[in-house]
Amino acid sequence: MKMPKKTNEPVKETQMVSLADIAFLIIFFFMLTSSFMRDKISVPLPTVPEMSKTVGTHAVTLDLQKRLFLDGEPVEDAKALESRLKGMLEGKTEPRDIEIRFKCDKQMKFKEYKGVYEAISNAGGLIAIMHEMPQKTN
């Protein structure tokens, strides 16, 4: 039986068992010392009752073809809407006087009506979003 030659080369293998132990100890240490999920902050969100009617006198409508209407009259774009609304709402402070009913098709995405939404807000309007109420089954 031949004996392998002894060489003076360093060991080329690294012991990984102790590395895994150290990794688990570090994870365990951070789990014990961290404060995540201990201090849960509960923020009560405001609730608004559903209303069947709004009291606003002005309505903005945006249809699927991206045609914009203010009180049934066509408006060119969001900038024109904003300037017209500023004139209508000037000097008014009561919430019912500055309420603008906004209605758009339910298939529209936010990025499609974002400009109109911002125009109403920038003009000083209080936005009341109109949507179809789900039918209650008895």
Place of tokens 């125009």: 119
Q: What is the rounded distance in angstroms from the CA atom of residue 26 to the CA atom of residue 95?
A: 57
pLDDT band at 26 (very low <50, low <70, confident <90, very high): very high
Tell me: the pLDDT tens digits for 40-98?
667 776 665 555 565 667 888 888 888 899 988 999 998 999 999 888 888 887 777 88
Place of tokens 């298939």: 107
CATH number of 58-129: 3.30.420.270
Average pLDDT taken over every residue of the chain: 78
Tell me: the pLDDT tens digits for 53-69?
656 678 888 888 888 99
Q: Which residue type is seen at 47?
A: T
Place of tokens 């249809």: 63
